Amino acid sequence: MATANLPWKNSKRQQGSADIKKEKLKEITKASSNEFGQLGDGTEESRKHPKKVKLLQTEFVKSVSCGAHCTAAIAEPRDNDGTSSTRRLWVWGQNQGSNYPRVFWGAFTPNTIIRQVSCGSVHVVALSEDGLLQAWGYNEYGQLGRGFTGEGLQGARVLHAYARFLDEAPELLKITQVSCGEYHTAAISENGEVYTWGLGSIGQLGHCSLQSGDKELLPRRVVALDGIFVKDVACGGVHTCAVTAKGALYAWGGGQAGQLGLGPHHGFFSCDANASDMLLRNIPVLVVPNGVQLVTCGHSHTLISVRDGRIYGFGYNSYGQAANDKSTYAWFPSPVDWCVGQVRRLAAGGGHSAVLTDACSLKELCEFRLAECVNLSNSYMIEDVASRTGADALARLCERLREHLLARGICDYEENEDSNEG
């Protein structure tokens, strides 16, 4: 969901070639509600504009994950000489023990290299470089993967049991990726198998039947994907998506808002013969047969990028987070065609989406510069230039921005200086 990892450049968004990108020092800027200290400034005051997280200014931030009311980041000291990795986990916000970023080892030994972190609604899971998972937070639906549920806040513990077969004892596996949904979790093992656990009442775990009522308490292999090597997995509120090594997209779980990309009221399947009219899939179904490179899930929408650089979205679209169209729901994969540059990362939240792009040519670099200075008064001129030079994405960006500003009654648009405060 909003937990998709997203590396951030500095607040000026200086973009350029791959060499320039490597030289840029990465920082975090955040803006949002802050009632639980999730913005990392030591207060509980909300902000409308991004501001640097000062305690991480000495760190080179690799990735960020946002939960409902907490934030986690993976970073290494900027003074690292590069001879060894020192990626550490920083956490703050609700249930994280501080309104400021703090280094968190949890159940890992100190100096463990952290590869990835993902935040759910009330739980967090971190992946170490050697393939171990640790989870902490609330566990009322088994989302921590410990084999039991529990009330109250649970401390960090390493996961040691993964059920490949129900008739065999669980075993320890090496994990390569993890994603947290609202109350469920998914992970990929080193051999490309998908494991899911937590709440599964809407089919979001991908199992035809569950072992503990509406829950799965241990990580369990999604057998419907047997023989398919999965390279990417993403969890939404009540749905899950996976991308295979061959670029196919599979989806399962709740599809009430179109987040599975399968249409409004037909083609859905449930293992329960009496529930065939429900908008859910209990087992993975093929949505896009090939060409998919990246996937991310918001609470009720999904974004994918394909090999030709285009982005498609589907699901809840009331705020324009899933598609160009102004409809409330995008039932099928629909184009999002106003992003400038080559897509590197995708992220999605409840009512918004974000795309990290790079300029890989002089033309794209010029498009970035023009995109940064678009306002209502010059949007027609820039759109005209973009249309005549084949910069279609920039032209659509001008059109979208103009529509947005006019809808809000704004006569001009200027970047707020507060966003660059350090």
Residue 14 confidence (pLDDT): 32
At 2-37, the pLDDT tens digits run 444 433 333 333 333 233 233 333 555 655 677 777
Q: What is the pLDDT of residues 170-215, one digit of tens each?
A: 999 999 999 999 999 999 999 999 999 999 999 999 999 999 999 9
Residue 9, pLDDT score: 32
What residue ranges define each of the domains in the chain, with the CATH number in brackets? 18-362 (2.130.10.30), 363-422 (no CATH)
pTM of the model: 0.82
Read off the pLDDT of each residue in 348-355 and give the average, rounded to a whole number.
89
Query: Is 50 exceeded by the pLDDT of residue 385?
Result: yes
For the four alpha carbons of 45, 317, 27 and 69, in that order, the dihedral sign comes to positive
Question: What pLDDT was estimated at residue 78?
Answer: 86
Would the pLDDT of 47 be above 80? no
Residue 154 pLDDT > 80: yes
Sign for the CA dihedral angle at 317, 318, 319, 325 comes to positive
C-alpha separations of 55 from 40, 50, 99, 420 in Å: 8, 15, 11, 16
pLDDT for res 315: 96
Q: Output DSSP code: residue 371.
A: H
The pLDDT of residue 267? 43
CA 91 to chain centre: 17
Q: Are 218 and 160 in contact (CB under 8 A)?
A: no
What single letter denotes the amino acid at residue 263? G
**Which pLDDT tens digit goes with each residue over 213-237?**
999 999 999 999 999 999 999 999 9
The mean of the pLDDT values for the chain is 84
Phi then psi for residue 68, to 5 deg, are -65, -45
Decide if 49 contacts 31 (C-beta within 8 A). yes
For residues 98 and 123, is the Cβ–Cβ distance under 8 A? no
Note the pLDDT tens digit of each residue in 296-340. 999 999 999 999 888 999 999 998 899 888 889 999 999 887 777
